Amino acid sequence: MSLSAYVIRRLFYVIPVILGVCFLIFIIFNVVSPDPTISMLGKHATKAQVLELREALGLNRPLYMQYVDTVKSALTFDFGRSWSTKQEISEMIKQGAIPSITVTFPAFFLSFIISVALSLFVAFYRGGMLDKSIVFVCVALMSISSLVYILVGQWFFAFKLGLFEISGYEEGFPYFIPYVMLPIVITVILGVGPDVRFYRTVMLDEIYQDYVRTARSKGLGEKTIMFKHVLKNAMVSIITYVVLRIPFLILGSLLIESFFGIPGLGGITLKAVNSSDFPVIKAMAVLSGIATIIFNVITDVLYVVVDPRVKLE
């Protein structure tokens, strides 16, 4: 089967999956969740006020029509208006996407490069003191709460030393750079620990495969084996791990954006949760689901690019 035919077939498979995801989100927000009008009006609201607000929000319509609206919003990216700010949610998403991307994507690529390099290094010197020391540091980094990194970073590096901006954001390049440098550093530190442990495990699994022993028996050097064989074969697992994290990068980081005053999608989502703004929360859930589905397809296609042994079926 050709690659284009495979992609087209997978895209057809995506449609029922999107419908299923929309159904689950609809059940969670429209059936299982408590009546949002109560939280908006307060417990002392009269029945007439509740009925009036339900009608204004379209919550009094039949459930199947509300489900159709959820599917339409997923396909058209028209999520209506926010209950709290009255803004178009699609515009809020557009405005918040760039600040989120300026933090998460540089941190993602830096973390990826550092983690893969360290993983190759510790796998090359596996079992030695350097390997054990780096693994110990990674576990230690993972054991510390992200709040500690944020608060210490803001107090010591931003407030005491004045190396970074404490909080805020200014739109436009290069004006946003001083505001995102510390969040990027903290995000990289938070990601390196688990990434190195995962990549190291994948590479060690490959090192003990038969093809590596065969390569050694042919006289190939250890560095050549690591870069030309082990890393190449480990890329299938690494791609799965990396690509499926991208949807979460798009939606931003709740804590980082909240503490550093970055007006990204993470901050928008957190404000929506605090104000019980169901349309915004639902829109973020739908976007997350669709992004995950799409990047699953991208992952399957990339398998063939990095490993010709994978067959398209």
The answer on 160 and 213 residing in a single domain is yes
The answer on 147 and 228 residing in a single domain is yes
d(CA 30, CA 51): 16
pTM above 0.85, yes or no: no
> In this structure, what CATH number is given to the domain that contains residue 276?
1.10.3720.10
Structural domains in the chain (count): 2
Domain interval for residue 163: 89-306
135 Cβ contact partners less than 8 Å away, ≥ 6 residues apart = 122, 196, 197, 200
Domain final residue pick, 54, 76, 98: 76
The answer on 210 and 63 residing in a single domain is no
**Residue 104 in domain:** yes
The answer on 166 and 31 residing in a single domain is no
pLDDT tens series, the chain, 313 aa: 666 777 778 778 888 888 888 888 888 877 777 767 776 666 677 777 777 777 777 777 888 888 888 888 888 888 888 888 888 989 998 888 889 889 988 999 999 999 998 998 888 888 888 888 988 998 888 888 888 999 999 999 898 888 888 888 988 888 899 999 999 999 999 889 889 989 988 888 888 888 888 888 888 887 888 887 888 888 888 888 888 788 777 666 778 888 898 888 888 888 888 877 888 888 888 888 888 888 888 887 777 766 666 665 5
CB 230 within 8 A of CB 212: yes
**Residue 62 in domain:** yes
The answer on 238 and 197 residing in a single domain is yes
d(CA 306, CA 45): 60
